[in-house]
Every structure is written in structure tokens, then in C-alpha cells.
A = this chain, B = another copy of it.
Amino acid sequence: MNEITPKGPFDGLLVIDLTHVLNGPFGTQILCDLGSRVIKVEQPGHGDDTRTYGPYVNDQSLYYSFVNRGKESVVLNLKEDKDRAIFINMLKQADVLAENFRPGTMEKLGFSWECLQQINPRLIYASSSGFGHTGPMKDSPAYDTIIQAMSGIMMETGFPDGPPVRVGTSLSDLCAGVYMFCGIASALYGREKNGRGAHVDIAMFDSTLSFLEHGLMAYIATGKSPDRIGNRHPYMAPFDVFNTQDKPVTICCGNDNLFNSLCRALNLTEAMADPRYASNVLRVQNQASLKAEIENVLKTQTAKFWVDRIHQAGVPVAPLLSVSEAMELPQTQARNMLVEAGGIRMPGNPIKISGYPDPHIRPGAATLDQQGEQLRLEFN
């Protein structure tokens, strides 16, 4: 080994990236952030659809840039012989091929898993799709909202007297992207031991099911789906979001001591002695009346006042922050979670590993076919 610091644990690996839009690119972005060389192969025309999505900064689509920074771009028409030959040369040298087409697309292009193994038996071939490459729904169309709708997570989110709520971010796309990375990293480790490639088959649907948590526990325990419970904790109280004079705050009392500390901080001496609130189980049963008593006090002062006071009492408390307030926290900067890539601010890499750099300034996203000429030569 030479003594140049590796860019990350996957430095030296070559990833051929056919992914598009959000789910697949989010997964290969992690490989790129952790040191891999990632070559994004885009279709002729406008390339990845997200290049046409706003919002734009410096004429660059933020949507595209957020999940493709640091990747090289080449346009190849996989239906034409000349470009296919270049693509096959890439695959022969590649460690990973990633795609998030509908199942069957790679077969139609002549790149089934069997065919890919013949081209390169050490290749890790990673697919991410709505419902996966097996099962009766594998061909169903899948947007993030469809998967959120069908997984149960929307029915779990929201208030008991309100409608189901979509998670305000494309959770199913994003968690499938992270799981795709998990599968690739695992298969790469396995290859160190057995020398063989593997097919990683990730579904947005499976990924979201794996996140259901207490809703799924309730189903297993009772055979029924739980009701939506808004912002409160299913098994602890007071553990919820509360209104103050201005903005909402969250207060999290996991045990009797914290409840008593909260009551003292709010001068709620009667509630502290009230038999309806004498244990956590009773407080969960009577959480509605307890919440009303707490909010009656909180409404007399601002969120800032109460966060300071309740924090001093040793009770876990926090303001509800907007995205801009969250991004402007000194902690966000200290953790390098807002980096600069190609002159645009964007989220940093949450996977911090000692011994590898976590640069604040990073290469940006490529323009369409930016490295095309060199890449066509390199893999000719």
C-alpha cells in the first residue's frame, strides 16, 4: 500500500451507476462519499429526469446535485452496439453495477443477472425497485407516495381525529437507497471471503415495512392495526408535543422522577399529587387531561422561556425547529452536515469513520456527459 490517505473505505472501487431520480442515486451517493469512483451512465436526451427538476441554484438542479455530487457522467445509448461495447468494457472492470429500473428492464436491455455474471463473475449487481424482483407485485408501478400508502406508514402517521399523513420526505425512496448501500457493502465484504459477485435485490416496500416499529408490534400482539396517535408516545406520558405562547415544544418524561421534575418546573403541584397521574400507566390512560393541564401553563410564556426552564429542571425538552433553524444550529456545522459541493450547499455524509477524511468542500455534480469523451476513450 502507498501512504496516500484513501478517500474512504471504498477507495479504489469502480461503480457503474445506471440509477435515476432519487432512490438508487441516494444509495450510490454513499459509495461515492466513502471513496468509490462512481460513473453515472445516463440516457441520451436530457439524461436523468431530475436534471429537469427545480429548484435550481447556479443553473444546476438541486435535486440532481444532492444525490449525484462527485460522480462522473457519460451518456451511453445501451441499445446501440458501439455504446454497448463501451458499457460492457466498463462492467468487466467494475466492482459494482447499480440500477433502479422496473424489474425486467435490464433483461430487455440484454443484461440479465446471468449475463452479467458471464461478463464479470466478481460483479456486485444491485437493484432497487418498488416491490423487488420477486413476488406477485414486482411489476407494479411505484412512486414513494404509493409505497408509503401501501406499507401502512401513512396510516400510522397523523392524529386520531385527522386523516393519514404522508411522511414529509420521500422516506421509502431514501431508506431503500440506504439499504441498497447496505447490501452492496455487505456483498463486497462477502466477496473478500468467497471471491464471487452477488445480486442485491432491494425493495422500497420491504424497506418501509422494516421501519414500521410499534405499529407492527401492535399488529403482531393484537392482530389489529393501531390507531394513529399524533405526536405522543404510545407507552409513556407526558411525552408529546405541547403548545406554548408562540411555538410548539416537545417534552419527554420517561419516568416518575422526570414527571415530578416537570411538575415542579411548571408549578403543577396539584397534578403531581393527582391520583390520575400517579404512575406512567395512569398518565398514559389520562394523557389528554394531563396535556390540557400542562398546556394551560405553557401558554403563558414563549417556547424559548419554557425550553430553558424545563431543561434546567433536567427534563428532556426541545423546540420544534424549522429546516432552516436546524441547518443553522452550530451542531450541524460542527458535524459537517452542510457541505459545499460545486459551490452549492448540500447535506453532508452522516457516516463518520475515523481514519478517512470528511471534507467540507467537495466536487459538485457533473453536467450531462461532462466526462464522456475521456470515459469513452478509457473504456474503448
Interface, chain A (partner B; CB < 8 A): 1, 6, 8-10, 12, 22, 30, 34, 53-57, 62-63, 66, 113, 131-132, 134-137, 141-143, 145-146, 149-159, 162-171, 174-175, 178-179, 181-183, 185-190, 192-194, 196, 198-203, 205-207, 209-226, 228-231, 233, 235, 239, 241, 248-250, 252, 254, 316-327, 329-332, 334-335, 337, 344-356
- In the complex, the answer to whether B178 meets A135 with C-beta atoms within 8 Å is no
- In the complex, the answer to whether A318 meets B146 with C-beta atoms within 8 Å is yes
Q: Which of A113, A134, A318, A356 has the most CB of B within 10 A?
A: A318
Give the complex CA separation of A56 and B72 in angstroms.
51
Give the complex CA separation of A308 and B297 in angstroms.
51
Extra A-B contacts (6), CB below 8 Å, given A10-B186, A137-B330: A8-B190, A135-B335, A137-B329, A152-B324, A165-B168, A189-B189
Give the complex CA separation of A34 and B62 in angstroms.
35
Known contacts A194-B1, A316-B143, A319-B150: A219-B324 contact under CB 8 Å: yes
Give the complex CA separation of A189 and B322 in angstroms.
37
- In the complex, the answer to whether A132 meets B206 with C-beta atoms within 8 Å is no
Give the complex CA separation of A211 and B219 in angstroms.
27
B-chain residues with CB within 8 Å of residue A233 when the two chains form the complex: 145
Known contacts A163-B241, A168-B215, A201-B352: A185-B189 contact under CB 8 Å: yes
- In the complex, the answer to whether A189 meets B10 with C-beta atoms within 8 Å is yes
Give the complex CA separation of A143 and B316 in angstroms.
8
Known contacts A143-B252, A252-B145, A347-B209: A217-B168 contact under CB 8 Å: no
Q: Can you report 21 A-B residue pairs in the complex whose CB atoms are below 8 A from each other?
A: A6-B193, A8-B186, A10-B186, A145-B250, A146-B317, A154-B231, A156-B168, A158-B158, A163-B231, A164-B231, A166-B231, A166-B241, A169-B213, A175-B175, A183-B352, A200-B352, A201-B352, A206-B352, A212-B347, A216-B327, A219-B327
Partner of A151, one of B137, B182, B321, B348: B321
The 3 closest A-B pairs by CB, nearest first: A9-B190, A135-B334, A156-B168
Give the complex CA separation of A344 and B217 in angstroms.
11
Known contacts A149-B321, A150-B326: A174-B213 contact under CB 8 Å: yes
Known contacts A321-B155, A347-B210: A228-B185 contact under CB 8 Å: no
Residue of B nearest to A334 (CB): B135
B-chain residues with CB within 8 Å of residue A169 when the two chains form the complex: 153, 156-157, 211-215
B-chain residues with CB within 8 Å of residue A321 when the two chains form the complex: 149-152, 155
- In the complex, the answer to whether A331 meets B135 with C-beta atoms within 8 Å is yes
B-chain residues with CB within 8 Å of residue A329 when the two chains form the complex: 137, 150
- In the complex, the answer to whether A216 meets B135 with C-beta atoms within 8 Å is no
- In the complex, the answer to whether A186 meets B224 with C-beta atoms within 8 Å is no
Known contacts A136-B334, A143-B252: A235-B157 contact under CB 8 Å: no
